[in-house]
Amino acid sequence: MASVEFRAVTKTFGNFTAVDQIDLSIGDGEFVCLLGPSGCGKTTSLRMIAGLETPTSGQILIGGTDVTGLHPKDRQISMVFQDYALYPHMNLADNIAYPLKVRGEPVGKRHARAREVADVLKIGDLLNRLPSQISGGQQQRTSLARALVYPSRVYLFDEPLSNLDAKLRLEARGFLNHLQRDMGMTAIYVTHDQAEAMALATRIAVMDRGRIVQFAAPIEIYRRPATTFVANFVGNPPMNLVPVEAVADRDTLVLRAEGLTMQGMPLSAGMREALAKSRTLTLGVRPEHLTVASGAEGNSIAGKLFANENMGPESLVTLERDDGSRVTARIFTDEHVDAGEVVRLGFSSDHVTFFDGEGSRIPQDGEAPL
Amino acid sequence: MKLSGTQFLSRIGFSALAAVLGALFALPLIWFLFAPFNARAELGLAIPNPFTLSNFTTVFGNSLAIHALLNSLVEGIGGVIVIGVAATLAAYALSRSTIPGKQAATYVLLLFSSVVSGSAAMVPIFLIISALGLIDTQAAVILVFSGGLLPTAMFILRDFIDGIPRSYEESAMVAGASPVQAFFDVALPVIRPGIVVVVVWAFVNIWGGFLIPFILLRSSDQMPASVAIYSFYSEAGTPIVTLLAAYSLLYSLPVIVLYLFVSWRFGFRFFGGIKA
């Protein structure tokens, strides 16, 4: 196992900048997810670690040594591809043992090792089949077996679960989590699925347009999203973002927005700084921090009921505000919501996050580390 | 289902037309199967009575014609090896590399290839081959056919390789394979069905080619079957139908066998990328 480091790495394709001056330091034994929408540069970053793309500028280090110009075969890494890349003309045993074959292991030894790994992944009885003769989940495990069959310094995953159906995906996700705990491997995992990233990562690097927006532990990404982009990308459903007009009344912060009732809050130093630049802020509240409010007391936001989706133990209640924007709450299903009427969703001021005019989170006074 | 009167009539009309067209195409083939076994075969269709192999006995007596089949085989196999190897390597490079202008290069080659093996370039080709001192050698025929067929072969194969995910070779290289190992272990076996298609196509083209060997080969013992077939014409230029029919059947057999073999062994199928 080894650490991985990006030093001012940029990759351009013609006029398009896929990765823009990225600095990233991944410790030995960490499981880091690169999370972002398609085209954010996460797959390109991964492929540069693998050596399948060469950075336009900057350096990549594995285990402290510069590998920027090194061929993939000399990097001692393994990678699981999104399409699995199983060789259609080889049976599973030969597919799994291929990395050992190129390392010159004799056939008996490498097939024994392939069987060992295949047994762990519960595909031991399929070793004589061709990839086309097994299911998608089995193909996924075969490609994982091929990555695990030889000692590797870094394990790379390029959306390995995106071709599986929902149930298999959960199962495979749990297995990957177990594997990481078991082996303590350094893993870098690309995904656009925030739930996958939250579940697997020790740290998540959220990427947007070739840059890393936030690199932190999942809980911090979730509770203290650095920007409105992160807030809107992480969480299902994502954080509600409401534009508000803020006025400082001596040491109290007063907020105004359509349908919003909110008590004055003590003004923090960070808030003063933000207000000096822009009076339009964004108020963020997670859906699970909203409840159906009975009266107009306390903090609440009002709107017409737009949708009420029953998910079993909980329901997603969506309001449409007068300006057409929507706010979603995740509530217990046994709470009653009447259709057609104006609904108020209440929240505690402990659970709100503010973003300044540029969309960056405004820190609170004396914020404790998570 | 009940048909109206006009629908019924148009059905009948269509079927009748199809039957006539079918017969037009079938008749020469039936002649082609019957005439070789008929000692008195003429251009008209007749069921052999009695079935005889005497035509074949005479044809096998013509050592020039039988040797010509061997020459055809030498040209076909030689050409196929050159085209198969060169087209595979070139198409792979064109598909996987990022050379600027590779698209244009392929199309220009494709455009000129029809000229190269066509009659328009016969004089320059003759002069070039003559300057190389290769007139009257099988090597000359193989080289000219290869030059003419290669661009199309490359084009077909490049298209085929473009359809194969790069992740095959990429995963091999990440796993520790050199680019050459990745090509032979992973890419080549996946490309093989495409190569088979190109090889069969090239072989059939060379096997049936007349003009190039006719011009580049001088001595009669170098002639391939497509040229030697003229030895079954009388001095006056009229075909000896019985022998011509028997030789034509012999001449067609290798191509038929090749198709059957390839279809049995490879089934002209393609491996695509596998996905769940």
pLDDT tens-place string over residues B120-146: 788 888 999 999 999 999 999 999 999
Q: Which of B165, B173, B276 lies nearest to residue A136, judging by beta carbons?
A: B276
| B1 has pLDDT over 70 | no
Q: Are B76 and B205 in contact (CB under 8 A)?
A: no
Question: Sorting pLDDT into bands at 50, 70 and 90, what band is B267?
Answer: low
How far is Cα A305 from Cα A300, in angstroms, rounded to an integer? Answer: 15
Q: What pLDDT sits at residue A339? A: 66
A329: which 2 tokens? 């709450």
pLDDT at A252: 87
Contacting A residues, span 42-61, partner chain B, CB-CB under 8 Å: 50-52
Min Cα–Cα distance to chain B from A90, Å = 9
Whether residue B229 contacts residue B243, with contact meaning beta carbons closer than 8 Å, is answered with: no
CB proximity list for A87: less than 8 A, separation 6 or greater = A94, A95, A98, A131, B168, B172, B185, B186, B189, B190
B4-55 pLDDT per residue, tens: 888 899 999 999 999 999 999 998 888 888 888 888 877 777 787 788 888 8
Instruction: Check A83 against B177: CB less than 8 A apart.
Output: no
Label residue B2 by pLDDT band (50, 70, 90).
low
Cis peptide before A237 (omega within 30 of 0): yes
More confident residue, B29 or B78: B78
Residue-level pLDDT at B274: 35
Cα–Cα nearest to A283, from A306, A305, A300:
A300
- Does position B275 have pLDDT exceeding 60, yes or no? no
Instruction: Measure A147 CA to nearest chain B CA, in Å.
Output: 8
For residue A340, the model assigns a pLDDT of 65
In this complex, the residue of B177, B189, B273 whose CB is nearest that of residue A102 is B177
Q: How far apart are CA A276 and CA A289, in angstroms?
A: 29
Distance (Å, whole) CA A135 – CA B13: 51
State whether residue B270 sits within 8 Å of chain A by CB.
no
- Which residues of chain B make contact with A148, given a CB cutoff of 8 A? none
Q: Where are the alpha helices (DSSP H) in chain A?
A: 42-50, 92-102, 107-120, 136-148, 166-183, 194-200, 218-223, 228-233, 269-277
Sign of CA dihedral B16, B17, B18, B20: positive
Looking at residue B276, its pLDDT comes to: 29
Residue type for position A281: L
In a mutational test of the B interface, the residue from A73, A130, A148, A188 whose CB has the highest number of chain B CBs within 10 Å is A73
C-alpha to C-alpha distance for A109 and A97, rounded to whole angstroms = 9
What is the structure's pLDDT at B51? Answer: 83
Q: Quick one: pLDDT at residue A250?
A: 81
How much of chain B, in percent, has pLDDT values that exceed 90?
46
Q: Which residue of B has its CA nearest to A165?
A: B276
Q: What ipTM did this prediction achieve?
A: 0.85
Q: Which residue has the tokens 């490309």?
A: B191
Please tell me which of the candidates B167, B175, B181 has its beta carbon nearest to residue A78: B175
User: Rounded mean pLDDT of B104-127?
Assistant: 79
Q: Decide: A100 and A172 in contact? Cβ < 8 Å.
A: no
B96 in A contact zone (CB under 8 Å): no
What is the per-residue burial (b if ≥16 Cβ within 10 Å, else e) of B233-248?
eeeeeeebbbbbbbbb
Which chain B residues are Cβ-neighbours of A146 within 8 angstroms? 171, 175
Taking a contact as any Cβ pair under 8 Å apart, which residues of chain A between 147 and 186 contact chain B? 150, 156, 163-164
Q: Write the pLDDT tens digit of every residue in B212-225.
A: 999 999 888 899 99
Asked whether the beta carbons of A24 and A195 are under 8 A apart, the reply is no
DSSP β-bridge partners for residue A244 = A281
Q: How far apart are CA B51 and CA B30, in angstroms?
A: 15
Interface test with B, best of A54, A89, A134, A162 (most B CBs within 10 A): A89
Mean pLDDT by runs of 10 across the 370 residues of chain A is 93 93 94 94 95 95 94 94 93 95 93 94 92 92 94 94 89 90 91 93 95 95 95 92 88 87 85 89 93 80 89 90 90 76 86 92 79
Q: Which tokens hold the place of A54?
A: 């060469």
